[in-house]
Amino acid sequence: MNIRTQILNYLEQNGPSTALLLSQSLDRTVADIRYQLKNLLFQKLIHKTLLPQSYFRGRPAAWFALVDSFPEMLYKRLIRGLFGTVTNFANDEQTRKGLVNQISDALIYDFQPVGSPAVRMNQMVSFLEQLGIKVKWEAGKTGPKVLVVKETLSDLTGNPELSIAILIEAIRKLIEKAAGDHPTA
């Protein structure tokens, strides 16, 4: 069994641990353990945490723990249930528009494009793919045109009409961010 697997198994069985405790338990050098912990942190399989200072004297050691993971089905059912509840209250057009705006903002929150407009549009395509939305774009005389090839939002929410409205608004905002002052990309 490789050291990476040993660390993950140890953390699963024993809970949070320091590099020193892991090295003693797994009979490896602290340097070996730290190297593996750095890689596991980068892969987001573990996270770093600090125990209260009163636990040990001196500088607090970094403790490492497994990232909590939840079943995908749980996410899907919670989202579908929440969408069902929210859409029951979104009867009037103004509430619906507010809901579409708020959810589209949440979807694109992390999008920070850099480079030329064409590069930023390609970054938008990659960003949407991470959300399970496949699009293609092409430059036009009046600005970029985006074609949605595949979207999974409708399946997730159980409300295709609202999902499409959210998707259209999110893509409009992404194009605005990506094309910026140069809409002809």
On whether the CB atoms of residues 23 and 29 are closer than 8 A, the answer is: yes
Tokens, residue 103:
């959810």
Domain-terminating residue out of 38, 66, 94: 66
Q: What is the full DSSP assignment across 95-137?
A: HHHHHHHHHHHHHHTT----SSHHHHHHHHHHHHHHTT-EEEE
Rounded CA-CA distance 96/102 in Å is 10
Determine how many CB atoms are found less than 10 A away from the CB of residue 170.
23
The pTM is what? 0.59
- Cα 169 to Cα 74, 116, 122, 138, distances in angstroms: 27, 23, 18, 18
- Which residues make beta-bridge pairs with 173? none
At 115-150, the pLDDT tens digits run 888 899 999 999 999 888 999 999 888 889 999 999
Neighbours of 91 (CB within 10 A): 8
Cα 166 to Cα 22, 97, 151, 163, 172, distances in angstroms: 47, 9, 11, 5, 10
Q: Is 117 inside any structural domain?
A: yes
Domain ends where: 66, 82, 108?
66
- Same domain as 86, residue 126: yes
Q: Are 55 and 37 in contact (CB under 8 A)?
A: no
* Domain endpoint, select from 66, 83, 101: 66
Across the chain, what does the average pLDDT equal? 85
Domain presence at residue 23: yes
Q: Could you tell me if 163 and 157 are in contact, meaning their C-beta atoms sit under 8 angstroms apart?
A: yes
Please tell me the distance from the alpha carbon of residue 80 to that of residue 167, in angstroms, as a whole number.
16
Q: Which domain holds residue 169?
A: 72-179
Residue 171 or 61, more confident: 171
Q: What is the pLDDT of residues 84-99, one digit of tens each?
A: 887 777 778 888 898 8
